[in-house]
Amino acid sequence: MRYTILAAVLALALTVCGCDAEPRAGTLQRDVDAIAALGTTGVQARVVGVGTDRTAVSGHSDAVALYEVSPEGYFRIGSLTKTMVATVVLMLVGEGRLSLDDSVQHWLPDMVRGNGNDGAGITVRQLLQHTSGIHESPPEMTTAEDYYRLRYQARDPFDTVASAMRHAPDFAPGAGWSYSNVGYVLLGLIIEQVGNRPWHDEISARILEPLGLRDTRWPGDAPTLPDPHANGYQQFEADGPLIDVTELVDADASVGYLSTTADIGTFYRSLLGGKLLRPEELAQMRTTVPVDGVTGLVWPGASYGLGLFAVPLTCGGTYWMHNGGQTGFLTNAGVTDDGGRSAVVSLSATLAVGADVTQSKGFAQLRMVNELVDHALCEK
């Protein structure tokens, strides 16, 4: 029910607010307008740093009524959830309740086995870093018909893992890199074993409540979004129609949360600013391995730590980010190395990738979002 980080990845009503000089606000507005012009139904972006808090929107929140996009709108954050899960895991590591070198077998006996899979040889670190080799469960929602059939069905995490176990590993643990939602579903189950309560309760108690993130919510089995929100639209095939996919049940530990650009920016600035993890665990999170495949084409020079991408800035240095692609929504959150400035952009339509990935509108969407984040973080 979700898209992997690359699977589906912008009309001109607009507003801008903030306290920066007009040229900077103008750059942000031009970037969101360009994303909307590609065919994305709605776009909202927020840049926050010392002396600046500005937003820009473009497009519409509803393809029929053509309402204006709200800069405070809720959206499905998709895989940005992974950074929160990784943060909780590292908090447990810092408390001595869990080790990055613990095996999956130690915490989830006999769950990862069969067809060459062996949880005894896969570590918590490898799950966090997408180096476990576990084969990703095949996507369930690849057509509009799939969406209408599956949108209200909650997926059991044990079923998700079992589906992956029907396939041989993609590579031996630690011998490669491949983005894995299943790995984070397993991490959610491990958090529950260590903490003796649901993984999302740990996120609430350890991250959301201390940071005052009242607009970040785990939806459970509820298929709707709070107001205000933009409707989400999915293009299932190249040149096909945009299908309204706003209602959806999909809330596991790989993609589960709803949030706003303000809350997401606060979370990432707090994390990289050292407010959530001890220096030792934050250093582990920032220890990266190279990425490859289409991911490397979308983010040239990128590498992956524990729940975070490191991406080169065109102005020099590195920023930290995660992308979240979930049916109908695409989000990027980037933050400077010191946590001083964040840029969050949310799109309420995901365009099709198609057979020729790099020539598709979905690929162009991702690259234009990356340019917006780069521009926002490079501004002086």
Beta partners for 59? 42
Q: Are 76 and 249 in contact (CB under 8 A)?
A: no
Question: Would you list the DSSP string of 151-170?
Answer: TTPPPPHHHHHHHHHTS--S
- Whether residue 244 is predicted with pLDDT greater than 60 in this model: the reply is yes
- How is residue 380 written in tokens? 């002086």
Q: Is the dihedral of CA 139, 144, 147, 149 positive or negative?
A: negative
- Whether residue 325 is predicted with pLDDT greater than 70 in this model: the reply is yes
In a domain, 8, yes or no: no
pLDDT score of 25: 54
- How is residue 272 written in tokens? 């990289």
* Dihedral angle over CA of 244, 246, 250, 256, nearest 10: 130
In a domain, 7, yes or no: no
d(CA 262, CA 195) in angstroms, rounded, equals: 29
In a domain, 287, yes or no: yes
d(CA 105, CA 110) in angstroms, rounded, equals: 6
For residues 77-98, average pLDDT:
98
In a domain, 10, yes or no: no
> Comparing 233-237, 321-325, 359-363, which segment has the lowest mean pLDDT?
359-363
CA neighbours closer than 13 Å in the CB half-sphere of residue 249: 12
Residue 51, domain CATH? 3.40.710.10
In a domain, 190, yes or no: yes
Q: Which domain holds residue 219?
A: 15-378
Helix%, strand%, coil% for the chain, nearest 5: 35, 20, 45
d(CA 240, CA 352) in angstroms, rounded, equals: 8
Select the more confidently predicted residue: 256 or 294: 256
Looking at every residue in the chain, the average pLDDT score rounds to: 92
Q: What is the tally of structural domains in the chain? A: 1
- Whether residue 143 is predicted with pLDDT greater than 60 in this model: the reply is yes
* 33 closest CA partner among 352, 324, 345: 345
Q: What is the pTM of this model?
A: 0.93
d(CA 38, CA 66) in angstroms, rounded, equals: 17
For residues 79-104, average pLDDT:
98
In a domain, 4, yes or no: no
In a domain, 179, yes or no: yes
